[in-house]
Amino acid sequence: MNTEEAMTIVKEKQKRRWLHQHPDYNKKDAYYLLPRDDQVVIVRLRTGHCRLKHHLYTKFHIGDSASCPCGTSPMTVQHFLQDCPTHQNLRAETWPADTPMRDKLYGPMESLRRTAAFIRASGVAV
Ligand SMILES: [Zn+2]
């Protein structure tokens, strides 16, 4: 076995390990086609590593509570995208029909862009 063959085997092994460790990896994910600023918003919402109060308070003890300013629930990604009454009008303009979280965060390009636009229009930093 020469060095080139050995490198090929090592790379294949690393690739298989990476794919095993990232079972949700989807090469055709519209995320990769988004402009950078939309990618940042989407990945923060997908992972929950964001500046919404629930994450800041529970993870870093920043702020006085995890509650949303609306007072109805912890300020999570789920609450913000789906339920928060403060953003109900904007949500209805953005998504006239009920739209599941899965579509907002993992749907086609148009869905992801719409989600990023909703976040920007809300004025809330994620
Ligand atoms: Zn709320």
- The domains of the chain are located at 29-122
Concatenated DSSP letters for 47-61? Answer: H--SSSHHHHHHHH-
CA 33 to chain centre: 15
Supply the pLDDT for residue 28.
87
Mean pLDDT, rounded, of the chain: 95
Expressed in angstroms and rounded, the spacing between residue 112 Cα and the centre of ligand 1 is 21
Whether the pLDDT of residue 27 is over 90: the answer is no
Query: Which structure tokens are listed for 79?
Result: 């609450």
DSSP letter (8 states) at residue 86 = G
Length of the chain in terms of residues written:
126
Distance (Å) from CA 96 to ligand 1 centroid? 19
Give residue 106 CA to ligand 1 midpoint distance, Å: 22
Interval between CA 74 and ligand 1 midpoint (Å): 7
Q: HSE-up of 31 (CA within 13 Å, CB side)?
A: 17
What is the predicted pLDDT for the residue at 26?
82
Is pLDDT above 80 for 120?
yes
Q: How far is the CA of 50 from the centre of ligand 1 (A)?
A: 15
